[in-house]
Amino acid sequence: MPSKKDILLINPWICDFTAYDFWLNPLGLLYIAAILKKHSGFSLHFIDCLDRHHPLLGRKLKTKPNGRGTFLKEEVAKPSVLKDVPRKYSRYGIPLKLFLHELEHLPSPDLVLITCTMTYWYPGVQLVVELIRKRFGQVPVILGGVYPTLMPEHAKGSCGADIIFQGPGERGILPLLREVLGDNSCPEHQFETLDEIPWPAFELLRNKKTLPVLTSRGCPFKCSFCAAPLLCKNFEQRMPSSVVSEIEYNFKKHEIRNVVFYDDTLLFKKNSHVFPFLKEIIKKNLPLVFHTPNGLHVKEIDSEMASLFKAANFQSLFLSQESLDKNLLAKACPKVSEGDLEKALVYLEKEGYSRQGINVYLMVGLPGQDISCIRESILHVRRLGARTRLAYFSPIPGTEEWQYLVENGFLARDADPLLHNKLTFPYLGWSVSPQDFESVKEMVNSPIVA
């Protein structure tokens, strides 16, 4: 019998000015792992550089009951392109020596798969590839995820990976592995729908109390700043029964407590999607808590929606309002209409949610966004009694806003992706000034006087 091929999957460090485990899991990589696990010819190994629960971290990191918490960090040299941003730059995640220790204890892999989410997190990939090369030499390295999908040329030229994989990984990973490994026993099967893909290989994670679930992929809307429609061309929703089965399976197998929806547009076509699976989940009466960090479409929150949230035990509600500026909404964000937020808050309050506990995302830093309108939006949310969460603008290649910045000379078409960092906009002159930026942060953090 031929020996198994060793495949090493790596979730790299985050190199940034700031990072927090806001329910971050490498879901795409774990889906790929689940596909590979179905093939008996592979032996999988996983290094999660963002593992906050590694027993050799040296200290226990604080984790909130909802699963969020801090990363370890080590300050590193700030890349010169970011020299004008007056903040410290760090590598977040497990210490370097722990990564090397993990590599020491692994067999030499036949293949390495790495993921990368934000375009401006590529330095973490560079470091991982460099260390892999030092330890294992010229093993084939494949890089996938959001960054290489949006910036394949940059990824090819900068990260040292042998193959750049664009788009959803399940379509094409097996044929690619057949080719790279020269392994004809590797199935050629390609998955066409989300429901066909095996559920994510969460068993590879150390802490399984808080796990994500993806019930749909892509987005039928097209907001001017958002990458969702670019990353997945066809919007797709799973069957409600499959969502329920996955959650129940994870509850039984991993004893999960928190379920985090990773959907970009969870509530779209709610009558045929979220309503049926929430009703089923409520019937099962599992002791779970649900969270929606990606922001919910405010206009979809009606009386029935609010009542299902409460009955199912949704605790962290994040609403995607983006702005209260009518002109901005009409231009950049067609998903929101005037009056939606007020109505949603009334429905949620009727179900027993406290307004102070409801988070409302407001965008800051969109090109040309007027500072007085940002302040007015914050004041509006405060007057409604809800909690503002600032969503900082990052120029994502291929979006309308990125195009605008390029065409108007604010950003070079081939600018270093580090300049996409969500904290650079006050220092690059296309939006609010650093002083205004600090003042809106203070405004959000100052207590509400009744």
- In the region spanning residues 326 to 355, those forming contacts with ligand SF4, defined by CB under 6 A, are 335
CB of 222 to ligand SF4, least distance (A): 6
CB of 164 to ligand SF4, least distance (A): 24
Output 73 or 335, the one with its CB closest to ligand SF4.
335
- In the region spanning residues 292 to 321, those forming contacts with ligand SF4, defined by CB under 6 A, are 320
CB of 192 to ligand SF4, least distance (A): 22
Output 337 or 354, the one with its CB closest to ligand SF4.
337
Please report which residue ranges of 111-237 form alpha helices under DSSP H.
122-136, 146-150, 152-158, 173-181, 228-231
- In the region spanning residues 371 to 390, those forming contacts with ligand SF4, defined by CB under 6 A, are none
CB of 318 to ligand SF4, least distance (A): 12
- In the region spanning residues 243 to 282, those forming contacts with ligand SF4, defined by CB under 6 A, are 264-265
CB of 11 to ligand SF4, least distance (A): 23
**Is 166:152 a contact under the CB 8 Å cutoff?**
yes
CB of 391 to ligand SF4, least distance (A): 9
Orientation of helix 303-312 relative to helix 340-350, angle to 10°: 50
Output 270 or 335, the one with its CB closest to ligand SF4.
335
Distances (CA, A) of 302 to 344, 349, 372, 393, 433: 6, 11, 30, 29, 38
Output 199 or 235, the one with its CB closest to ligand SF4.
235
Of 146, 177, 143, 180, nearest to 158 by C-alpha is 143
Angle at 364 between CA 405 and CA 403, to 5 degrees: 15
At 85, the amino acid letter reads V
CB of 431 to ligand SF4, least distance (A): 18
Q: For 115, list phi and psi in degrees, rounded to 5.
A: -115, 160
Q: For 35, list phi and psi in degrees, rounded to 5.
A: -65, -45
The rounded distance, in Å, linking the Cα atoms of 375 and 259 is 33
Output 323 or 424, the one with its CB closest to ligand SF4.
323
3-state secondary structure of 342: helix
Output 46 or 318, the one with its CB closest to ligand SF4.
318
- In the region spanning residues 401 to 420, those forming contacts with ligand SF4, defined by CB under 6 A, are none
Output 222 or 343, the one with its CB closest to ligand SF4.
222
Output 115 or 320, the one with its CB closest to ligand SF4.
320
Output 94 or 364, the one with its CB closest to ligand SF4.
364
Over the range 192-220, which residues count as b (16 or more CB within 10 Å of their CB) and which as e?
eebeebebbbbebbebbebbbbbbbbbbe
**Is 25:127 a contact under the CB 8 Å cutoff?**
no
Those residues with Cβ within 8 angstroms of residue 173's Cβ, 6 or more apart along the chain or in another chain: 32, 35, 36, 165
CB of 132 to ligand SF4, least distance (A): 34
199 DSSP assignment: P
Structure tokens at 31: 């889906």
At 271, the amino acid letter reads N
Residue with tokens 């020491």: 104
- In the region spanning residues 202 to 231, those forming contacts with ligand SF4, defined by CB under 6 A, are 219, 221-223, 226, 228-229
CB of 305 to ligand SF4, least distance (A): 16
Q: How many residues bind ligand SF4 (CB under 6 A)?
A: 11
Output 392 or 427, the one with its CB closest to ligand SF4.
392
3-state secondary structure of 392: strand
CB of 209 to ligand SF4, least distance (A): 27
Q: Which residues contact ligand SF4 (rule: CB under 6 A)?
A: 219, 221-223, 226, 228-229, 264-265, 320, 335
